[in-house]
Chain A
Amino acid sequence: MDITMDQHDGIGLVNLSGMLTSDTSEFVRARVQSWYEQQDSPNVVFDLSRLDFMDSTGLGVLMAILKMINEKSGQMRIASMQKKPSTLLSITRAYRVLDIYDTVDAAFASFQKQIDETKAE
């Protein structure tokens, strides 16, 4: 499991690659948490285009991260999911609580649109 974390246009970007399972979930949770605590912007996009597999424990980690972000009044977007992790999200109806986008660009654009709308008000 590899994680890279970055920031673009004031929005956090987390890339997960490999397998998000019970073996790697604590590592991911801890890494993302320590990074997020140092961020100025509360909003984050998760690029999962290189995430090959995710099980229920992995999904639980995404939920824990979502909670952490929401508690700081931030929002989390999931983008570019491969078929296998996407199947799990479909089975569990995870789109009920997760904002899922086809591409990273679309996820960023949704944040930008929000910013534009807020400015317009």
Chain B
Amino acid sequence: MSLFGKRESTLEMLVDGKFVCTECNKLLHLANYTPLVAGQCEHCHKVNFIPMKVGDFFLIGPLGGGGMGAVYRSLSVNSTGEYAVKVLPRSGLTDADLIGNLQSEARVANALSPHPCLANLVDSGFADGEHYMAMEFIKGERLDSQIERLSKLPEFDVLLIGLRLLSALAHIYSCGYLFRDMKPQNVIVSADAGAFLFDFGICMSLEDSLIDHGDTIVGSPIYFPPERILGEGERGCSEIYSLGMVLYFAISGSNYFTAKEIDAIARQHVRNARLSTMEHKLKDISPDIATIIDRMIRRPMDERYQTFAEVERDMTRSLQTRLNPASAA
């Protein structure tokens, strides 16, 4: 029986402190294993992921993560469905900074939930010796994986994804925050073509985002706005810039900046006159979408779209043109 198979019986066994080897189907006792790592079945020696209980959740498989925390696919004893539960890395369970970051992320996620284009917070706190935050588990594919698999996405899909992410960013902004980590790796595209933002780890309040944070630059340099490098403070149009970079990647299949070195990317970011303009990098994209993306990723902040509503208006128009060409006139 697969651990991800029959939910009820899996959960029942976990509550009893047991799980099933994926190879020999024999019952194993959680107490005999170190949780959240690969453990060998005592009968057949097959390597299994060892589940762990945190509060009302059983963490049953890894989803991703890094130095700040790891996210696991999880079941809840109180409700059906699956969840994504983030806990601290095993090496940092008592690290005050990591604990603070996780708590802060949970607070922000709570302030932003619910929204149809976010992985919403379900629960957070401290239980069974673990700080944790539980979010909706979105079944789907990460946007970067989807683009890699398909080479690039159709323009219509990119407009839809763009409008959904824009909706999430506008909501985050209206709640008093900037997301600050817009990148394909933080977007899940679901089977029904929904787009969901997750990972609020470097979200910042609007007040704090206006401050120069000195040498501390976090985020993905391919997507974050040039003002972050220059310490100019960030605004709503900074989020629009990052979304523009993501949409460019989705529609063209390659990043706007191709330099592999972060320093080189940084230099390209802050160059006042961009070498490649619409005639080059945007030439294979339909003119209406190219114009939108170009205005989203302008280097000077005041040359970009200033509000989410402006981008939404133009994207919606492009979408409607494709849905009903007669409306173009």
In the bound complex, residues from chain B placing their C-beta under 8 Å from that of A60 are: 115, 167, 170-171, 174-175
Q: Is the interface of A mostly helix, strand, loop or mixed?
A: helix
Bound CA span A17–B50, Å: 55
Among B289-329, those with CB < 8 Å from A are 307-309, 312-313, 316, 319
Bitwise interface map of A from 43 to 66 toward B, beta carbon under 8 Å scored 1, else 0: 000000000000111011101101
In the bound complex, residues from chain A placing their C-beta under 8 Å from that of B174 are: 22, 25, 57, 60-61, 64
Bitwise interface map of B from 159 to 193 toward A, beta carbon under 8 Å scored 1, else 0: 01001101100110111000000000000000010
In the bound complex, residues from chain B placing their C-beta under 8 Å from that of A120 are: none
Bitwise interface map of B from 98 to 120 toward A, beta carbon under 8 Å scored 1, else 0: 00000000000000011111001
Determine whether A39 belongs to the interface, using a CB cutoff of 8 Å to chain B: no
In the bound complex, residues from chain B placing their C-beta under 8 Å from that of A67 are: 113-114
Determine whether A86 belongs to the interface, using a CB cutoff of 8 Å to chain B: no
- Interchain pairs with CB closer than 8 A, number: 72
Closest B residue, CB atoms, query A98: B116
Bound CA span A58–B313, Å: 13
In the bound complex, residues from chain A placing their C-beta under 8 Å from that of B173 are: 57
Q: Is the CB of A55 within 8 A of B194?
A: no
Determine whether A97 belongs to the interface, using a CB cutoff of 8 Å to chain B: yes
Indicate the member of B117, B173, B175, B194 with the most A CB atoms within 10 Å.
B117
Q: A22-B307, A22-B309, A93-B194 are in contact. Are A56 and B116 (CB under 8 A)?
A: no
Q: Is the CB of A64 within 8 A of B308?
A: no
- Say how far A76's CB is from chain B's closest CB, in angstroms: 11
